[in-house]
Structure formats: structure tokens, C-alpha cells
Structure 1
Amino acid sequence: MTQGKKFISPQAWFSMFYPVDWNEFEDGEGTFLFYNPDVWTGNFRISAYKDDSSKAGRANNYGKEVIEQELRQNASASIVKVGELTCAYSQEMFEENETEYTHHVWVTGIDNVAFECSFTTPQGADVREAEFIIASLSVREDGVKYPAELIPIRISEICLVNEAYEWTVTLIKNELKKDFQGAEEDLPKIQQLIDAGVIGAKKKDEWLAIGITICVILLNEIEGLEWMTLIDGNREVPVLQYKENKKMIDPLRLAWSKIKAGETCNVEEAYKNALV
């Protein structure tokens, strides 16, 4: 397996690659879940724990210490190598709805970040997909300015898109008493909301929601667009990208950038300018 989608964790602690036919799905807080939605081969979960207690310039062995702790506390764990990483590996079998499964667990670490990875599969199934992900783990160094990257949209940004769109729809229904379908014909309704002065000039998050809503309409109306997550320093935001030419549409620039500069926001103009 030589290709994969890239995942960068919230706050950019670490990055990894996962199989191209897998997606991220919602899970518990602090845990990231991935699997193939079309041909299920297992659920891969990863949690990361970061230790910032070491002084600057001093080696941080937190990842190594967590592996050693797992070996002491879990009698069934043993040392294995996955790619270049040393892991404490264990497994357990269980049965659910008359089907037998194996729950594989790898505890590993890099510098000041520790990882707990699990792969729940039908009993006897291959674990190479999970090992591919674990072997690709990389810690991003504190204080280093990394180049901006676009990655497949994460669950955190999907939630932001949904919340922003619902906020705009609710505001239009409450303020204008009009329905909203997320189509091009709804653009004048957004403009009417803006012209009415309902949104304060300093409400960045609300203007971002307007920009996201315009992007949702673009996605509904135009083929060849997809949501991505932009990682650029402290910015971790949803953006649209044209699949063919990779042109990026940043929701923040559609509305907030105009308002911040003391200009007016023309919704239909912003929409047309975003078209290829």
C-alpha cells in the first residue's frame, strides 16, 4: 500500500496517512475513527496524548515512557515493530451477534506524543491496513512554521460547516420569514439579511457562517467541487476546492474579508467570482 489520504490532527500535533478508500467518521472526543464505508475491513481508532512538561532544549521521552508503562501494566502486551516505530501490542477476542472479532491495540510514541491505536476486525482478518497507518505517523514540531496544506475534510470541519449553514438558515427564517433551500435562488435572501444590518460588523464567526453558506450553495449547484480542510499555521478551516484545477475557495474571503476592510458584501458578486 503506497498511497493514502493525509490526516493532520486538530492543533496539528501529528499527521498520518490512511487508505484512499477509507473515510473519517465521528467518534468520542479526542479519538479519531477511520474505516472503509463500502467494504468494511475493520474500525481503526487513534488517540494522541501530548506532554509539554519538558523544558526547552531537553529531550522528551514521554512517548517511550508510555510504551514502557503499557508493557508493565498489560501482561499480554509485547514489543513489536511497525515500520520504524516500537509498539506495545496486545489483542483480545470477543463475540457480538454470533460473529467473532479481534480487537488489536498498539501503544506507541514519538518524542512528546504518545498514541493508542486500535483496529477491530473480524477474527483472522489482515491488519496490514492498520499497520500502514501506524507506520506513517509523524509528529509535527512545536514552533515550526509548516507550509499550508489541504487535506480531506475532517469531522471537526464538517461539523463547523453544518453548524454555520444551520445558523444562517435559522436566521433567515426568523428574520425574513422566508424558506431557504441552499440553492442559487437563495442568494438574494442572504443579501437582504446583510442589508438589514442584522449581522454586526465585528462578528467574524457570523460572517464566516455567511461565507460557508455561500460555499454550500456553490457545492449544491456546481459539479467538481469538494470540501477540504485547510491547515495553515493556527488556521484549521473548511474550504472548497475544484477537483480539476485545484482552485481553492476560502469562505472567510467571501464575506468577512470585505467587511473587515470596511467594504460592503455583494453576495451575488462573491458567488460569481468563485466560479471557474
Structure 2
Amino acid sequence: MRLRFIYLIMAITFISSCQVNTKRFTSNDGWYSLALPVGWSEYDDGNDGTYAFYNATTWTGNLRITTLHWENKANEDATSEFISQEMQENKGASKIKVGAFDGTFYKTEVEEDGVMMPIYYWIFGKNNNMFICSFTTNKKHEQDKNTLAEVEGIIQSITIN
């Protein structure tokens, strides 16, 4: 929990110090936008509904943002159910707030070409609208806390238009 608090403080510091050095990104459907650091670029990862970004100046990892929208059937809250399930299934998952949204944060690792790659997940939203954000990096950049703070700053800047 203490580490999570430190990441939050670093993200807030990053956001406040870099607001001048950001550009506004808006999803193709105009549903949401975010503040992207000037050195970051979008790339096509081939998945519909997913936006992918990376630091084009110095690669630190890949950030993917996917949105899901469910029809509101019988006033069910699909997002809360999904987040609860993710918290149960992922060791070390913690509750978070992203703006006005409730969510969860956790880290996993996958092996790619014999190398273990850390993947961080932020899943948040409300009612039947959800954001799934993941950041895949390598062990070198995982040790750099500024990298994760920069990504959290991007995620914290997400707003629904």
C-alpha cells in the first residue's frame, strides 16, 4: 500500500510538472481523451477498440488502452463485477481510484522469447463503461520508478468527453 501511495504521489508530481509538455489525444469515437507526453506516439497494435502508445524518444514500454461498453441490462453493473473478479483472480491486486472511477491495479509477468516481461494493469470505470489499461515493459525499465509514474500520469489524465 505504501508503494502504491508513492506511485500516486509520483504520478501527481509528473502530471503537474509536465502539463505544458503534453498533447491531447482523443479516441476516434470522441468518447474519451487523455494527456499524452509530447515524446509519446500512438501505434496500431492491430486490435479494434485498443489504442497503443509508446515513448518514441526512449522506449520504456508499451501502453495499451481498451474500452468496453455494455448495454445496461436490468441495471447490472458489469464493470464492478469485472473489477471484483479481477481482484479475486490476481494476487496482489489492490483497489484504486482513477479520477472519479473505482478500479483495480495489479502486476503480472509473462515470458517472451525467454525473457520475463512485467505487465501492469489498471482496470477502472463505472456502470457499464470500463477502461482496461496495460503497460508492458522490461526488467531494466521496471526498476525506473519514473517510467511507471509517467504511465500512471497518462492514465490519471483520462477523461470521458
Question: TM-score, normalised on structure 2?
Answer: 0.70
Q: Sort the Cα spacing of 1:68 and 1:96 in 2 relative to 1 into closer, same or farther, 3 A.
A: closer
Instruction: Determine if the alignment matches structure 1 residue 39 to structure 2 residue 58.
Output: yes
Q: Sort the Cα spacing of 1:98 and 1:117 in 2 relative to 1 into closer, same or farther, 3 A.
A: same
| Unaligned residue ranges in structure 2 (runs of 5+) | 1-13
Residues 66 and 108 in structure 1, CA contact (< 8 A), matched pair in contact too: no
CA distance in 1: counterparts of 2:155 and 2:137, whole angstroms: 16
Q: Sort the Cα spacing of 1:68 and 1:95 in 2 relative to 1 into closer, same or farther, 3 A.
A: closer
Question: RMSD in angstroms over aligned alpha carbons?
Answer: 2.6
CA distance in 2: counterparts of 1:68 and 1:95, whole angstroms: 26
Indicate the percent of aligned positions where both proteins have the same amino acid.
35
Partner of 1:10: 28
Q: Sort the Cα spacing of 1:63 and 1:8 in 2 relative to 1 into closer, same or farther, 3 A.
A: farther
Instruction: Determine if the alignment matches structure 1 residue 71 to structure 2 residue 90.
Output: no
Partner of 2:10: none
Instruction: Determine if the alignment matches structure 1 residue 135 to structure 2 residue 156.
Output: yes
Q: Structure 2 counterpart of 1:34, which letter?
A: F
Instruction: Determine if the alignment matches structure 1 residue 102 to structure 2 residue 118.
Output: yes
Deviation at 1:82, TM superposition (A): 4.5
**Residues 113-128 of structure 1 aligned to structure 2 (within 5 Å):** 113-123=129-139, 124-126=143-145, 127-128=148-149
Deviation at 1:7, TM superposition (A): 1.7
Partner of 2:102: 86
| Unaligned residue ranges in structure 1 (runs of 5+) | 141-276
SS in 1 for 2:137: strand
Deviation at 1:83, TM superposition (A): 5.2
Aligned length: 137
Relative contact order higher in (CA < 8 Å, ≥ 6 apart): 2
The higher radius of gyration belongs to 1
Q: Deviations over 1:146-195 (max 9, x none)?
A: xxxxxxxxxxxxxxxxxxxxxxxxxxxxxxxxxxxxxxxxxxxxxxxxxx
CA distance in 1: counterparts of 2:84 and 2:124, whole angstroms: 9
Residues 77 and 128 in structure 2, CA contact (< 8 A), matched pair in contact too: yes
Deviation at 1:128, TM superposition (A): 0.9
SS in 2 for 1:10: coil
**Residues 1-276 of structure 1 aligned to structure 2 (within 5 Å):** 1=14, 2-3=18-19, 4-27=22-45, 28-53=47-72, 61-82=77-98, 85-96=101-112, 99-123=115-139, 124-126=143-145, 127-140=148-161
